[in-house]
Amino acid sequence: MEEAQRRALRRGRARLVAALRVAPLWDPLEDRGLFTRPMVEELQSAGSRGEQARQLVIDLETRGKQAFPIFLSILRDTGQGDLADMLIEECERLQAPPQLVDLRPVELDLRGEKRNKTVNFPERLSIPVQAESERPGRPPAPAWGSAVDKRNSDLVYKLKADPCGHCLILNNVHFSRDSDLSTRDGSNVDCEKLEKRFKALRFNVLTRQDLQAEEMVSELQKLARQDHRALDCCVVVILSHGCQTSHMQFPGGIYGTDGKPIPIEKVVNYFNGTNCPSLRGKPKLFFIQACGGEQRDRGFVVDCDSPGNEAPGGSLESDAAPFQTPAGNVDEPDAVASLPTPSDILVSYSTFPGFVSWREASRGSWYVEMLDSVLEQYARSEDLLNMLLRVSNAVSAKGRYKQIPGCFNFLRKKFFFMCK
């Protein structure tokens, strides 16, 4: 969706919330492919008519390039053409070019004896204006973040290899009875999305399912010990239950299926410049879908333009587990005690340290859903940090309980994915 269309929806939100009749919209929205049936049902569960309208307008911004014109068409088909006209007017107003300053000569007020004399100015030169079709062709300036911009920038990681790197996905769904950790329904949805997404971003993807802590450590070490000299990047994705742990650098821990925690900082430091020399100077990206603790964030009251929808009923779960002090063979403190400051590392967390991370059985986690959607729409034009801001903004707008993703960024340059 174009930025002017997004801004038109935001500027018209108050009137849409006040006047939009949502009941006639549900079937056309599904029939025209803007929303799936589960998405429609979630919108219907948002609360009152006004709350449903508010969430619909917010979600429209994430539904692709054709969402705006299709929504206008549905409004007209359901007898709400006045709202469609209002949005078009807002969009045209935002797209209107700035008015040109009139530079024609004006008469001067001359002082003294020349006051009453007529001052003659030369005729304005007549400059013929070529028609657009007659002008010599000139390529448009490249958009910021385009391939041209990336090639010319000194502060951008160069990704030339194909595949550009390895992507390891550790997906823990089923946990042992002794662990007291529940089955993570919906995690396979996350896993399938990210497998497809990172393959499309030119990564060699390897998935490992339901690993105990020692097995997770083994897979991570195996990847870190590979020769990455011919590659440009490395990605690690962990989908599991999580908890708070004592830490020196990166907060939080993730659980193996046996209920034993592994500190995130230990996971990250397998790949730093000391332990993985072939990745020195190359970006190492970690995406963690797990709780950072047990706190449930109910948010705080904001102005009327902010989302106020209720959480979907029935299938909302968290990946939280109680705080545990690291113990045992999988999280020895001396593994990180004398490491250098990390560089070329980014760790993206699904939630703020200490808080839960929400997941739905049918659609997967909020974080992965929005990460996949943002990568699909913006990976060709925007750098990773900008896209993660979009993910945080989108996730923070969901649900009765709130969630805010964030990252620890030690990258030295901008990172742009390679897209097929």
Check whether 27 has a pLDDT greater than 50.
Answer: yes
pLDDT (mean) for 207-214: 96
pLDDT of residue 120: 45
In this prediction, residue 98 has a pLDDT band, given cuts at 50, 70 and 90, of: very low
CATH 3.40.50.1460 is held by the domain 151-410? yes
Q: What is the pTM of this model?
A: 0.57
pLDDT tens-digit series, residues 373-382:
999 999 999 9
Q: 228 an active-site residue?
A: no
Answer yes or no: is pLDDT of 384 > 90: yes
pLDDT tens track for 297-307: 344 434 444 44
Interatomic CA distance for residues 183 and 172, integer angstroms? 9
| Higher-scoring residue by pLDDT: 14, 146 | 14
Catalytic residue among 241, 243, 276, 407: 241
Residue 99: predicted pLDDT: 47
> Which CATH number does the domain 3-95 belong to among 3.30.200.20, 1.10.260.40, 1.25.40.90, 1.10.533.10?
1.10.533.10
Asked whether the predicted pLDDT for residue 188 surpasses 50, the reply is: yes
pLDDT digits (tens, 9 = 90+) for 224-239: 999 999 999 999 999 9
Domain residue ranges of the chain, discontinuous segments joined by +: 3-95, 151-410
Q: Is 291 a residue of the active site?
A: yes
Per-residue tokens: 123: 């005729």
Q: What average pLDDT does range 411-420 have in this prediction?
A: 89
Inform me whether the pLDDT recorded for 163 exceeds 90: yes
Range with the largest mean pLDDT of 103-107, 269-273, 312-316:
269-273
